[in-house]
Amino acid sequence: MIAGKPNSGEGAERMRRTELGRGASILTAGAVTMLLLTGCVAADANNADAPVWDGTTLVSVPGLPDEALEVMNQPQFASGRWSISVEDLDTGETLIDLDGGKLAEPGSFVKTYSAGAAWVKWGPDHTVTTPVKQSGEVTAGTLDGDLVLVGQGDLTMGGRTKDDGTVSFTNLDHNDANPLPGATLTTEDPLTGLDELAAQVKASGITTVNGDVVIDDRLFQGTLAKQPITPIVINQNLLDILITPGEEGQPATAALTPSVGAWTLDLQVETVGAGEEAEIEAPKVSADAPNTIVVTGTITADADPVLRVFEFDDPSTFARTAFIEALERAGVTVTADPLKTNPKASLPDWAAVEALPSVAELESLSLEEEVTYVMKVSYNRGAQTLICRLAVEAGKTNCDKQGMGVAQEIWAEAGLDTTQTSLVDGSGLEGNYITPQNAVDIQALMAARPDAERWRDTMPILGVDGSLADVQKDSQAAGKVYAKTGTLVGGDSFNGRLRLGTKTLGGVMQTEGGRNLAFTIIVNQGFYDGMPGVFEANDNVGQVAAIIQQAY
């Protein structure tokens, strides 16, 4: 995910070299000379010599082909800093070390730490179960009491499950629709899970709820970028607005999904001529009607439909309304007002709710599929929700203050030297720092697991899918590099340009010569005139990875 100012993020951590048993061999002087002349790398390349600089230009980095230096020495990176670590997973050799032991800001690569901690703790087949509890008695189909849907932090609630049981995602997710062009929607119904729960309620014998419907969202409390992280998640807590142009000079049209009764759309988007400048603002709540979403702007007559999203700040109330409507669709009458605020204050204590009988249950996707979604599209709130679920497992409820400490304990127990990182959240916003070597150490730990290939496959694949779908598509390295991205973007108001805070790529690759490598590439600070340059930076980092993949 790319973020402006509130940013988004990505990250990683570090393990002791002695614990990994790294080898140390030195290139001969002749081999070094050949390397500098040709930009090629010997199969056993490993050199402890320091990189060579000429002012701000990198002249040579032991083990790194000169072709990569041409990418890294471009003018937009002149005042920035590159750092790279590459290790052979089979031998433990350090092949490239450019400031690999120094802290750098990784952006959303941090999700490797949060999602990885969940993976280490629970394994890829772990699931969570969201129950609907019944209070009161049922007589002749009428429940004289409440239905309580107890949120468990299910990231998709059945709304992204394909027919084969895997997660559905697009390469540019709807979470990024407002800051980035080209986001698209999956075809699955985001209300599927609620419909399944409602059908089970009906099948249990309940046809009327003569009480209330309540969402119990007390499992944990958290925030990210001033937005709530809650244990109930419907459509990633977003409303999708797909805007289609009309004829020039005519209003555009739009579809609001999921369609939930509380919300209406006030579309103020005009169609302008093909080729004209056009911009659609991020949706906002009407000043006069709190459940009306206002979208303003222009769209060109020849444009494809444009996606915008509205992020609601009370997910539990939205989920309550959506669940009541699902119950009605299933043939269950609810006497309570479907549009009122979620009445969670009426709930008994947590233990009392847990003791109530369940009338419906929804099993989540496997952790493997949840992590795939988080990693492929860089889903910020999803990564932070995993941190919250880890906190709950450890008997804690305050994600913001306690969750990252739980993740640290998991990684430390696994053998990672966590002192080589400084992390403040699980998604990768500003303020997180890692060493590239620590990120490589995580991949070494994961590569030693019996489920290593399943972990590898959760990451974006160079030139194939996720945030790397359009990176180095025509390279010989396409399909052979599995890596998490990281991006932070800010503004330079003084000079009227964009500042690339970080662009990160880290994961594993199978090289042209058949070697299995773990790598991390980070560039901090670069400058661009506009967003196209930021996308170019994504390709630049991918190009460096592709060069390394081909060289070894």
Do residues 525 and 381 both lie within one domain? yes
Look at residue 23 and tell me if it is in a domain.
no
Mean pLDDT of 354-377: 99
Round to whole Å and give the CA distance between 44 and 26.
9
Residue 116 lies in a domain: yes
The verdict on 185 and 332 lying in the same domain is: yes
- pLDDT for the residue numbered 290: 87
| 186 and 70 co-located in one domain | no
Same domain, 219 and 281: yes
In terms of domains, do 344 and 464 share one?
no
- Average the pLDDT over 500-514 and give the result: 98
**Of the residues 320, 335, 365, the one at which a domain ends:** 365
pTM score, whole prediction:
0.90
Q: Tell whether 176 and 318 lie within a shared domain.
A: yes
CATH code, 436: 3.40.710.10
In a domain, 21, yes or no: no
Q: Beta 333-334 vs 208-209: how paired, if at all?
A: parallel
- Helix locations, 219-294, DSSP H: none
Among 517, 520, 507, CA closest to 550: 517
Do 331 and 398 belong to one domain? no
Specify whether 74 is located in the same domain as 213: no
Of 300, 330, 365, the one marking the end of a domain is: 365
Mark residue 215 as left, alpha or beta (left: phi above 0; alpha: psi -120 to 50; beta: remaining). Answer: beta
Same-domain pairing of 321 and 425: no
Say yes or no: 236 and 299 in one domain: yes
* 93 and 179 belong to one structural domain: no
Nearest to 169 by CA among 467, 472, 503, 428: 467
The last residue of a domain, from among 314, 345, 365: 365
Residue 253's alpha-carbon distances to 177, 285, 295, in angstroms, are 17, 18, 11
Q: What is the pLDDT of residues 225-236, one digit of tens each?
A: 989 999 999 999
Q: Are residues 489 and 545 in the same domain?
A: yes
The predicted-structure confidence for 393-422, as pLDDT tens digits, reads as follows: 999 999 999 999 999 999 999 999 999 999
Helix/strand/coil percentages in the chain, nearest 5: 30, 30, 40
pLDDT class for 436, splitting at 50, 70, 90?
Answer: very high
> Does residue 44 fall inside a structural domain?
no
Domain that holds residue 393: 60-123+368-551
220 near 315, Cβ under 8 Å?
no
Number of domains in the chain: 2
pLDDT category, 40, cuts 50, 70, 90? very low
Q: Which residue has the higher pLDDT, 532 or 105?
A: 105
